[in-house]
Amino acid sequence: MEQIDPPSSVEAAISDTTVNEYERQPVPSKSHKGAGKFWGMYAGEHAAGTEFMIGPLFLLNGVTLQNVFIGLLLGNLLAVLSWRYLCAPIATSARMTLYFQLEKIAGGGLVKGYNFANGVLFCFLAGAMITVSATAVGIPFNMEMPTIEAVYPNSFLFVVIVLAVGALIAVVATLGYESVAKFANVASPWMVLVFVACGLVAFKELDVSNWSELNALWDGSIAFAQEGKSESAMGFWSVVFFSWLCNAAMHVGMADLSVFRFARKSSYGWATSAGMYVGHYVAWIAAAFMLAAQIKIAQDVNPVPGPMADRVVGLAGIVCVVIAGWTTANPTIYRAGLAFQAMLPSVSRRVATLAAGCLATVAGVFPAFAWKLLGFVGLYGMILAPIGAIIFFNWHFRSNGDASELESREFKGSFNFAVFFAWLLPVGVSLYFIQVKGVSPWFLTIPCWLVCGFLYLLFSLKSEQA
């Protein structure tokens, strides 16, 4: 999904080795990279531990099988188009990171605020990944698995295992993530195949021979999971918007400017289709079939990744869950640490990373963060994506797509209130609709993004006139 997926270890690998050299300058042409690197990176990036959670949550939310297949197809296409036509063209023209570009528009003070929000959200995301890994690590210890209703930890052993897994990930993150990123690169082709194998085995266990039998079994699984109610909490458009915007912070939110500024051409944006259709299509559907098979065979509706993977493919499945969780949680904690350190430059990176790791581990103790992953990922995108609108509207309407004009119009202060209020107003209203009216966050991301962009243009114009 990651990420919902978060910035991957693979991206991190690029960042650690080369990106840091050009953090505060456009990437020179000698450092541009070919298309193959991007295809491989995105395919690996979206085979994360959280994919094991998201697919089953569609079933538990009563999404029909047709909506899963067609909704994900369309939503992932929209995500790919967003990367290709919104993010990649700016990245390959300006060749700057989101942070550097935002600093030029909004001032260093506001970038720190963005970093803080990013860091906190990263910690909770990493917490869900730690929970996922802990469910696999707990299998040899006969750990009682948390149920889908569980908000708090259900056993002392679960807490101990989450703390141990979280501590290990946090300590490794403090050492830097280059070695983990290399390991993630090595593991990703194997992990993708394990995901596919899980889906094949689970599909076989469903024992269906045609679409109508599969559909009937799927509906039966939903009815069993919902204790006979068979209500859908997510319709077709929910699936489309969720799959489109679960990575909103990366594409419309422009975080992947950091990645695509190394691309020779903006057409490399198509490489994201590898991640979307391997990770967010095949892997999600495979994981959903794993839960359907578990319901059919064991009458168990708990979508706990470790035992689910163990039941269908054994030890390889358990190891895959641990590695998928670890290799994505590790860079997430590392980046959260960097974000916190940017807020408090006097604190060392190791201390900041440890603090981020502690926050993520505490979040991981509460399984509710993993069970509520759909809502959390939607909220994450809704809060961060509007910053991308600032970049997009500024690039096209104020800088006229010209990097030199972006430089010449650089904001001289440290805190641009036009940007701050353009972001705060739509996000504040959206949070009201989410909390009070119960609107799903993924329906508010695009309106929020558009309003933020227009308000930014309006406020900038007013402040210039003033």
**Residue numbers at the binding site for another protein (CB under 8 A):** 183, 186-187, 189-190, 193-194, 196-198, 200-201, 203-204, 313-317, 319
Distance in Å, CB of 316 to another protein, minimum: 4
Give the nearer residue to another protein in terms of CB position, either 121 or 288. 288
CB of 192 vs another protein, minimal distance in Å: 9
Dist CA 141 CA 123 (whole Å): 27
Q: How far is the CB of 201 from another protein (least distance, A)?
A: 5
> Minimum distance from CB of 321 to another protein (Å)?
13
Nearer to another protein, 245 or 312 (CB): 312
- Least separation, in Å, of the C-beta of 191 and another protein? 10
Please check whether residue 254 is in contact with residue 46, taking contact to mean a CB–CB distance below 8 angstroms.
Answer: no
Can you tell me which residue has the tokens 């609107």?
A: 439
Contact 449, 388 (CB under 8 A): yes
Measured from the CB of residue 179, what is the shortest distance to another protein in angstroms? 11
Nearer to another protein, 36 or 314 (CB): 314
DSSP 335: H
Tell me whether residue 9 or residue 131 sits nearer to another protein (CB atom).
9
| 47: helix, strand or coil | coil
Q: CB of 127: closest distance to another protein in angstroms?
A: 27
- Closest approach of Cβ 16 to another protein, in Å? 19
Q: Of 165 and 320, which has the nearer Cβ to another protein? A: 320
Location of structure tokens 């990263």: 122
Instruction: Choose between 193 and 461: whose C-beta lies nearer to another protein.
Output: 193
187 versus 240: smaller Cβ distance to another protein:
187
Q: Quote the CA–CA distance of 309 and 318 in Å, as a whole number.
A: 6
Query: Is 44 or 119 the residue whose CB approaches another protein more closely?
Result: 44
Query: Shortest distance, CB of residue 190 to another protein, whole angstroms?
Result: 5
Whichever of 314 and 401 has its CB closer to another protein, that residue is 314
Chain mean position to CA 43: 14
- φ and ψ at residue 422, rounded to 5 degrees: -65, -30
Nearer to another protein, 199 or 364 (CB): 199
Cα distance between residue 5 and residue 140, in whole Å: 28
Taking each helix axis from N to C terminus, what angle separates 445-465 and 236-245, rounded to the nearest 10 degrees? 50
Shortest distance in whole angstroms from residue 2 CB to another protein: 22
Give CA separation, 155 vs 100, 136, 152, 159, 168, in Å: 45, 15, 9, 7, 20
Report the 10 Å Cβ neighbour count for 461: 12
Least separation in angstroms between residue 324's CB and another protein is 13
Q: Where are the strands (E) in 83-204, listed by range?
A: none
Is 189 or 428 the residue whose CB approaches another protein more closely? 189
The residue among 103, 165, 91 whose CA lies nearest residue 363 is 165
DSSP 172-217: HHHT-SHHHHHHHHHHHHHHHHHHHHHHHHHHHHHT--SHHHHHHH
Torsion of CA 191, 192, 193, 195, to 10 degrees: 90
Q: Report the C-alpha gap between 131 and 129 in whole angstroms.
A: 5
Residue 140: C-alpha distances to residues 107, 157, 235, 310, 389 (Å): 51, 12, 38, 11, 47
CB of 317 to another protein, least distance (A): 8
**Closer of 201 and 419 to another protein (Cβ):** 201
DSSP 152: S
Distance from C-alpha of 40 to C-alpha of 28, rounded to nearest angstrom = 22
Nearest-angstrom CA–CA distance, 360 and 367 = 12
Helix axes 211-225 and 65-82, enclosed angle (nearest 10):
90
Q: Within its chain, how far is the Cα of 57 from the centroid?
A: 16
